[in-house]
Amino acid sequence: MWRILFGFTLLGLGCGPEKQAKLPKPTPITLDLGQSFDKATRSAEDPPQDVQKPADRTLTKKPTYKLVEQVKELWPKVVLTDASGKALPIRAKIETSLGGIVVELRPDWAPNHVRNFLVLARLGYYDGLRMDRIIQMETEKFPVVSWIEGGCPLGEGKNPSGSIGYWLRDEKTPANLSGEGLLGACREGSPDSGATRFFLSLQPNRAEGDDRTFFGRVVEGMEVVRKISLRPLIILEDEPPGSHSPETPVEILRVVELGVLPEQKSPNP
């Protein structure tokens, strides 16, 4: 795996945290398990700073304007709580051409990001897209920082890209979240710019200053995540150090919602 010595702030690598001295601070929203689409997102009329124009069609030829309308319609129909109003951990399986990855989605960490992921999965948005980017590098603070990314509408995973016509406002997730397998939202290089792209972390510790939104964790299939991370890479000179696409595309076959499992025990916290 190609690696490079680089600064510990992880700049310019798609899902990396931003350098806050140059960008406005994120505007975390109050935890609200039933927040409306309009409150949870930013539209094309009020885009985040320095984002790219949304694609007209996805890699799988889905018109993005139609997807946005479907997301809005389905958004309030996704239930994240039990009858008492308690947040429910919900499991989903990301089926890839290299195997399946089961993630536990945590509405108690970031309800809007969980709802967005489930809505897109139910609409078949991810079907036929790719695990499109692999991050692997050495840093001053950690021996290895790595994660894999997927869900870019164009299958490229280049920054800034990822929107189909709206962006999620950042949610402030627990600061003590750490460990291999965390599921988080890729941002387009500025706050409030998460959309369709997600990442799965392979690093044992969370980097200092990492304020990205995390909304779940891998509970089965870390061997598949590792397998994807070790794919041979296409090395292009115009890409940020340590951020590349696999030579052979790793396809997302589908994302299947598994629901709340009986007597399911969620990882801490």
Place 203 in a pLDDT band, splitting at 50, 70 and 90.
confident
Query: Could you tell me which of 214, 209, 240, 213 has the C-alpha nearest to residue 20?
Result: 209
Whether the pLDDT of residue 264 is over 90: the answer is no
Average pLDDT, the chain: 84
Helix axes 64-74, 111-122, angle to 10 degrees: 120
Distance CA 110, CA 214 (A): 7
Of all residues in the chain, the percent with pLDDT exceeding 70 is 80
CB distance 186 to 51 below 8 Å: no
- For range 244-263, the mean pLDDT: 88
Residue 93 binned pLDDT confidence (cut-offs 50, 70, 90): very high
pLDDT of residue 174: 82
Higher pLDDT, 232 or 4: 232
Q: pLDDT value at position 8?
A: 32
Does residue 244 carry a pLDDT above 90? no
Give me the residues paired with residue 187 across strands. none
Using CA atoms, how far apart are residues 61 and 215, in angstroms rounded to an integer? 28
Assigned CATH class of 5-259: mainly beta
Asked which of 152-156, 174-178, 217-221 is least confident by mean pLDDT, the reply is: 174-178
- Rounded to whole angstroms, the Cα distance separating 232 from 166 reads 33
Range among 19-33, 67-81, 179-193 rated most confident? 67-81
pLDDT at 17 over 60: no
| pTM confidence score | 0.87
Q: Which residues contact 265 (CB under 8 A, 6 or more apart)?
A: none
Domain boundaries, the chain: 5-259
